[in-house]
Amino acid sequence: TTVYLNGAFVPASEAKISPMDRGFLFGDGIYEVIPSYAGRFVGFGPHIERMHSGLAQLSIDPKLSLANWQSIADKLLADNRAELGDNIGVYFQVSRGTDSKRGHAFPANITPTVFGFAFAIPPEPVADKSKATTYNVVTGQDLRWQRCHIKSTSLLGNVLHYQQGYSQGAQEILLFDKDGNLTEGAAVNVFVVKDGVITTPPLSHKLLPGITRQILLAILAKHSNIKVEQRDISEAEVLAADEIWLTSSSKEIAPVLQVNDKAVGTGDVGDVWLAVQQLFSAHKF
Ligand code: PDD
């Protein structure tokens, strides 16, 4: 495996980062995951834009342009495709850099640590009910911080929520804020379908602005007549939904079949999912 670290492509076993790196000590950094299939990335530009936005909010400047990120990603694919195959995610992480004083304040004049690697992701999702990867989820109160729009490497809140679901036999958890409104999952955005209308929570500090969410909304606006609403969604609405979907870069649009051991809608993969995954597959690149 070849990885990228601070300007060089090196074997993973030779990539070394100091334990004094603030990414390690504080989780002081931003990350991104970009999917690719047969060498083609989905949403490369929007993913890099979100990363740049997160870095700017943290006053970290790795001094790399979209074109620089593109050539790093292309080389990671080229160097690792023989080993990984056609379905590859590229992970980027930028931390504030290394500083042995461990002061909370941003140190002056340190160089950001830039890391990238390629990893195998599940095969490209297809619009076929019998081939969909489906999910059972539980619900819980969102106990994360108030800056969930930042794709921070400080993922402990998400990890604990994921494990909360996992320990109950679920593969994701739907989170609700203190007012009882849906935010997102531990590593996914959430869509709900009722009576043919698609709804998803509006963007705010309470959830990550998912790129799959963004691409899906743009495709629906351009290529379908299905009504789409971005608004608050209560737990009662989620439990009464005809369909629930999880979206993320590696899952695309994934149907949820059970919430808290109760069937969603008919308990099968839905017709709206099928139509929407078809559109997504046709227009995502
Ligand atoms: N997860 N919400 C959270 C909290 C996430 O971590 C993710 C992505 C999403 C979906 O975003 P996108 O559509 O841009 O992938 C929503 C990534 C893949 C991860 O941490 O592995």
Which residue is it, tokens 């000590």?
Answer: 25
Residue 72's H or E segment, with its range, is helix 66-84
Q: Is the CB of 183 under 6 A from ligand 1?
A: no
Tens of pLDDT along the chain (285 residues) come to: 999 999 999 999 999 999 999 999 999 999 999 999 999 999 999 999 999 999 999 999 999 999 999 999 999 999 999 999 999 999 999 999 999 999 999 999 999 999 999 999 999 999 999 999 999 999 999 999 999 999 999 999 999 999 999 999 999 999 999 999 999 999 999 999 999 999 999 999 999 999 999 999 999 999 999 999 999 999 999 999 999 999 999 999 999 999 999 999 999 999 999 999 999 999 999
Indicate which atom in ligand 1 lies nearest the CA of residue 43. Answer: 14
Which residue is it, tokens 């994701």?
Answer: 172
CATH for 108: 3.30.470.10
Contacts for 108 with CB less than 8 Å, ≥ 6 apart: none
Q: Is the CB of 93 under 6 A from ligand 1?
A: no
Indicate which atom in ligand 1 lies nearest the CA of residue 158. Answer: 4
**Total of domains in the chain:** 2
By most ligand atoms within 8 Å of CB, the mutation choice from 172, 189, 217, 247 for ligand 1 is: 189
ipTM of the complex: 0.98
37 and 142 together in one domain: no
Residue 148: Cβ within 10 Å count: 21
Which of 120, 142, 176 is the last residue before a domain boundary?
120
Which of 120, 137, 167 is the last residue before a domain boundary?
120
Residue 34's H or E segment, with its range, is strand 29-37
145, two tokens:
């911080």
256 and 177 together in one domain: yes
Residue 262: active-site member = no
pLDDT of residue 262: 98
Q: Is the CB of 211 under 6 A from ligand 1?
A: yes
Atom 16 (ligand 1) nearest CA: 188
